[in-house]
Amino acid sequence: MPNAVTLYPNARFTAFITSDNHIDLKHSCPAVPAAFLTASLKDSAKSARLPDAYITVGDTTSRGETGNWELAAECFRGIKPARHIFLTVGNHDLWGDNGFEAAKDNYLKYSNAICGTDHTGTWFSHEVNGYRLIFLGNTEDAGCEAHLGQSQLDWLGAELDAAAGRPAFVFCHQSLNGRHGLPRTWDREESATDPMEGGIGTESDSVAAILKAHKNVFYFSGHSHMGLCGEEKKRAEGYASFEQEDGVTLINLPSLACGNHHGDLRSRGLGLILEVYADRVVIRMRDFTRRRMIRRVAVCGGKPYWEQTLK
- Contact residues toward Fe ion (CB under 5 A) are 20, 59
**Residue 252 C-beta: closest distance to Fe ion, Å:** 12
**Residue 62 C-beta: closest distance to Fe ion, Å:** 8
Q: Specify the residue, 14 or 177, whose C-beta has the smaller distance to Fe ion.
A: 177
In whole angstroms, give the CA distance from residue 258 to residue 269.
Answer: 9
Please return the burial class of 73, using the count of CB atoms within 10 Å of its CB with bins 0-12, 13-18 and 19+. Answer: middle
**Residue 127 C-beta: closest distance to Fe ion, Å:** 28
In whole angstroms, give the CA distance from residue 205 to residue 178.
Answer: 11
In whole angstroms, give the CA distance from residue 280 to residue 295.
Answer: 20
Torsion angle of alpha carbons 292, 297, 300, 304, nearest 10°? 30
Task: For residue 57, give the amino acid letter.
Answer: V
Q: Specify the residue, 59 or 243, whose C-beta has the smaller distance to Fe ion.
A: 59
**Residue 64 C-beta: closest distance to Fe ion, Å:** 13
Q: Specify the residue, 52 or 145, whose C-beta has the smaller distance to Fe ion.
A: 145
In whole angstroms, give the CA distance from residue 175 to residue 222.
Answer: 7
Q: Specify the residue, 103 or 281, whose C-beta has the smaller distance to Fe ion.
A: 103
**Residue 30 C-beta: closest distance to Fe ion, Å:** 16
Phi, psi angles (nearest 5°) of residue 105: -60, -40
**Residue 33 C-beta: closest distance to Fe ion, Å:** 11
In whole angstroms, give the CA distance from residue 148 to residue 199.
Answer: 13
Please return the burial class of 151, using the count of CB atoms within 10 Å of its CB with bins 0-12, 13-18 and 19+. Answer: exposed
Q: Specify the residue, 14 or 88, whose C-beta has the smaller distance to Fe ion.
A: 88
Residue whose C-alpha is closest to residue 298's, from 285, 279, 287, 289 = 285
Strand partners, 284: 273, 305
Q: Specify the residue, 59 or 231, whose C-beta has the smaller distance to Fe ion.
A: 59
